[in-house]
Homo-oligomer: A and B are copies of this chain.
Amino acid sequence: MIVVMRLDSGERELNDILERLTELGLTGHLSRGVERTVIGVVGKTYPELRDMLELFPGVDEVVPISKPYKLSSREFQPQDSIIKVGPLTIGGDELVVIAGPCAVESEEQVVETARAVKASGANILRGGAFKPSTSPYSFRGLGEAGLRILARAREETGMPVITEVLTPQDVELVSSYADILQVGARNMQNFILLDEVGKAKKPVMLKRGMSATIEEWLLCAEYILSQGNRQVMLCERGIRTFETYTRNTMDLSAIPIIEKLSHLPIIADPSHGTGKWYLVAPLALAAVAAGADGLMIEVHPTPDSALKDGAQSLTFENFHKLMDQVASVAASVGRKLAGSTKG
């Protein structure tokens, strides 16, 4: 932590800070510049220290220099985290594709979709049983009945299943059906939920909050990791900006940034990231080119009668076309589709 003094501060202000640091078992290392004096704080600092030091007279600003996250950082663990889900590995050389409907509506819808996306090369089935909904008057999901349908589709197709868990009480229930637990964007900072999925024995996919910085997102991963669950993957799904044409603005730079700062795998969700089906394919390909470890794509047998997010869902045919292109772009950045026998 660096304390930057005001131009008009004097020795007395400096000494007050140095004394306080000593009381706290820290050392202040003085550096007098041409313009300003700065104090380097040596010792074990903590976030609240910044607030405290900013209140001292004569201080202009306090700049933290340690990263607040540890377990999720690449400095802590240089090699990539690789998460195993059945025969799949996420975060290694293979590109994983998660596909399925936004919401579980019926067994027929889910099983039919699962078969179609599997045939096109998808590896993992998605489908929401508990749905966060902006309005209390919208469809909120089938609940446990939806989980049973997902399990049935897994039996039918052999595909592992990812589904969202909305609240701490449901973690055990959802874990008993799902292969991967999803924490949604709106719950990224639901810290009690993060604690709970941190204690679960299942991999967790943590979506980026709509207004979360990369650092805040990694700190939420840190909540899960610090409870002992090291099977964490991240998912970029668009952030909120002033642009209204798209539902969110997909921040694809997050993909190489996460790869630089962290060892955790990073998945891209262009369906939520754009909100419009005709933008899904170009952004999916872009995400693969940028280095994503996987894609998550919404697919529905009949998007125009979907109970949720039909406008961003691909038809089976459009998904099939996309997968051909995904394979080609993946190859050109040195990756192979998981489970593919080609290449």
Could you list which residues of chain A lie within 8 angstroms of chain B, going by C-beta atoms?
2, 4, 6-8, 29, 31-36, 38, 40-44, 46-48, 50-52, 54-56, 61, 63, 65-66, 68-69, 75, 132-140, 166-169, 186-187, 189-194, 209-211, 213-216, 219, 222-223, 226, 239-246, 249-253, 255-257, 260, 273-274, 277-279, 282-283, 285-291, 303-312, 325, 328-329, 331-333
Complex: how many Å from CA A310 to CA B59? 15
- Select which of B29, B55, B307 is within 8 A of A277 by beta carbon: B55
Complex: how many Å from CA A269 to CA B61? 23
CB<8 Å pairs between A and B, sample of 6 = A190-B190, A215-B245, A241-B242, A260-B278, A282-B291, A286-B289
Q: In the complex, are the beta carbons of B38 and A65 less than 8 A apart?
A: yes
Q: Which of A36, A136, A139, A213 has the most CB of B within 10 A?
A: A136
Q: In the complex, are the beta carbons of A289 and B288 less than 8 A apart?
A: yes
Q: In the complex, are the beta carbons of B213 and A68 less than 8 A apart?
A: no
- A-B CB proximity, top 10 nearest: A211-B211, A328-B332, A31-B40, A289-B289, A286-B286, A51-B311, A285-B289, A286-B290, A186-B189, A167-B192
Chain A, interface SS category: mixed
- Select which of B69, B167, B311 is within 8 A of A167 by beta carbon: B167
- Select which of B194, B210, B213, B305 is within 8 A of A52 by beta carbon: B305
Copies of this chain, whole number = 4
Q: In the complex, are the beta carbons of B65 and A36 less than 8 A apart?
A: yes
Give chain B residues whose Cβ lies under 8 Å from the Cβ of A226. Answer: 136-137
Complex: how many Å from CA A310 to CA B49? 9
A301 CB to nearest B CB, Å: 13
Q: In the complex, are the beta carbons of A34 and B44 less than 8 A apart?
A: yes
Besides A33-B42, A246-B253, 16 more A-B contacts (Cβ < 8 Å) are: A7-B75, A29-B31, A36-B66, A47-B135, A51-B306, A52-B304, A55-B310, A137-B226, A168-B169, A252-B252, A253-B273, A256-B279, A260-B278, A282-B291, A285-B290, A286-B287
A243 and B250 in contact, given A75-B8, A256-B283, A290-B285 (Cβ under 8 angstroms): no
Q: Which of A32, A63, A331 has the most CB of B within 10 A?
A: A63
Give chain B residues whose Cβ lies under 8 Å from the Cβ of A137. Answer: 46-47, 68, 222, 226
A2 and B63 in contact, given A252-B252, A253-B246 (Cβ under 8 angstroms): yes
- Select which of B31, B42, B61, B331 is within 8 A of A332 by beta carbon: B331
Q: In the complex, are the beta carbons of B136 and A219 less than 8 A apart?
A: yes
